[in-house]
Amino acid sequence: MSLATCDHVICVSHMSKENTVLRARFPDPWSVSVIPNAMDATKFHPKTVGPTAAGWSGDGNQKVLNVVTISRLVYRRGIDLLADIIPRVCEKFPQVRFVIGGDGPKRITLEEMREKYALQERVILLGRIDHDQVPRFLHQGSIYVNTSLTEAFCISIIEAAAVGLLVVSTRVGGIPEVLPPDMMRLAEPDARSLQQCLETAIQDVLRGDDRLLAPTLSHARVREMYSWTNVAERTEAVYNRAMLNPMPSVRDLLLSAYSHCGMFSRLLMIVLLLLDFIGMSVCEFFLPASALRQSDIVEKGDSSSSSSTAHKRRLKSNGYRKLKG
């Protein structure tokens, strides 16, 4: 209902734009722009060269490959999928360990799975992680897995790619638009497909596949694609274009609300717009816009500035006399 009277809308992915246009019944799809989220890549340094960069940790000859993920542990994040595939992957790859950050009502599902399959040493639940600690957390892994069931844009996968992790994710929403194929492996949102995709990624990392990007190259790509400067410039261009549109009248807003909403929403929107119009009319009656002249504001500002300058001069003069005395 609130989108019916918008001049322009910004979505973070083309899938999000498609859903917005269809649900809000926009007459002009060109009034919806796609601008992705941005991130500060300087806070996510690429992993260093060596065993740590390859995703290994451990002592002596017994090494561990960490698969990491961080998210709110809720249903729409696909935590049930994650709990389903972890025991199978751990059974096939004894050197793999899962490190999970985040908290939520689905944490109990992971804890029950860990107890059932005796994976206390191979499934690490770290709980809530502060955002300034996320880069350090990501540096522990070599593969980042995202199991979301719905997502317009997933900022966590570009943070993982920025430090050089290979990303494995479900193919939902706008996620396929976020990273190119050589930086992310996609699976259908079901346990079998996700397990196969993750196992293939683990095998590629274990044998050091030449197709895997170096952490520095992955970081450079993310920094170029999702810089705040680029996103801010594109957003400013959209705002400038929207401000060129003429200000709609109350009649135009009423007609727009009536044609884009259902029966109940139409009545509610019309009542709200009429109340806004009445309030603005009352304000205009007691304090007309014509009375607020720019010259009055400038004169008040100049007088306050002059009085402030005079006050400073008096203080300076008094201080000089005190010093002289």
Whether the pTM exceeds 0.85: the reply is no
pLDDT range class, residue 54, cuts 50, 70, 90:
very low
Task: Report how far apart, in Å, the C-alpha atoms of 89 and of each of 82, 85, 257 are.
Answer: 10, 6, 53
Pick the more confident residue, 270 or 135: 135
What residues contact 232, with CB distance under 8 A and at least 6 apart? 38
pLDDT at residue 276 greater than cutoff 80: yes
Each residue's pLDDT tens digit, 148-170: 999 999 999 999 999 999 999 99
Q: What is the pLDDT of residues 292-325, one digit of tens each?
A: 655 454 454 444 445 555 544 554 444 434 434 4
pLDDT one-digit tens code per residue, 110-129? 999 999 999 999 999 999 99
Question: According to the per-residue pLDDT averaged within each range, which of 13-27, 202-216, 277-291 is highest?
Answer: 202-216
Q: Does position 59 have pLDDT exceeding 80, yes or no? A: no
Output phi, psi for 37, to 5 deg. -70, 160
User: Based on the number of CB atoms within 10 Å of its own CB, is 288 exposed (0-12), middle (13-18) or buried (19 or more)?
Assistant: exposed
Residue closest to 193 by CA, chosen among 232, 145, 157, 155: 145
What's the rounded Cα separation, in Å, for the pair 27 and 6? Answer: 12
